[in-house]
Homo-oligomer: A and B are copies of this chain.
Amino acid sequence: KIKASGLKLQFCTNETQATREGFVKKLQGMGFDISAAEVTAPAPAACRILKERSLRPHLLVHNDLVPEFAEIDKTNPNCVVIGDAAENFTYANLNEAFRVLIGMEKPVLISLGKGRYYKETDGLKLDVGAYMKALEYACDTQAEVVGKPAKMFFESALAEMGVPPQQAIMIGDDIVNDVGGAQRCGMRALQVRTGKYRPCDENHPHVKPDAYVNNLAEAVDIILQQL
């Protein structure tokens, strides 16, 4: 419906357990009309930073994400990129990433998100933010976070569409990462009452959405009515 109306559309995800191609394939299977070019994701954003600053990463990421870094020089690393590595978060791999960082005069740690945890069918899992904090503490450094709610991440999504923030609306279920991040970037933001949404979000001390909607379909209908 959004696409048929002529509005521009970009999908912003913090997914780092798969390439955009893998992510898109999953959504296509659910019936979404979506291509990889319409997805703004942390790994490609990190690749841009790595190229701009001539950084050669040591990767601590999920196996399925590695192809996103195919064109990046990874020899003789001078930074660490950490994503939601899941089963790759082993004691040995964490020590190895730590040794790369502590061996640098000024450790450079780039984190593909700062989520605390998430839920899978077999239970809650620690997210990349927890492991980021472990490395930050051990190396006495601060990570550069790529992905929502980083301002630069939303700006790169806007640049993809060629739209200024005042003319864009973010729709998301995460009060801090989706709504708060987009608003700090100058966009309006709707929170859907599905997914990660919790009733207590409506009393959040810092973030207030421009409006609530019951679900994504309702958000789309309301937006189209106002055209």
Contact = CB atoms under 8 A, between A and B. Distances in A.
A176 to B, nearest CB: 12
A137 interface: yes
Interface string A114-135: 0011000001111101110111
A94 interface: yes
Contacts of A130: 98, 134-135, 137-138
Contacts of A86: 91
A99 interface: yes
A130 B138 CA distance: 6
Given A86-B91, A117-B98, A127 B133 contact: no
B125 A95 contact: yes
Interface in A141-186: none
A124 B137 contact: no
Nearest to A94: B126
A137 to B, nearest CB: 4
Interface in A83-128: 86-87, 89-91, 94-95, 98-99, 102, 116-117, 123-127
A106 B6 CA distance: 49
A136 interface: yes
A190 to B, nearest CB: 26
A95 B123 contact: yes
A91 B102 contact: no
A140 interface: yes
Contacts of A137: 116, 129-130, 133
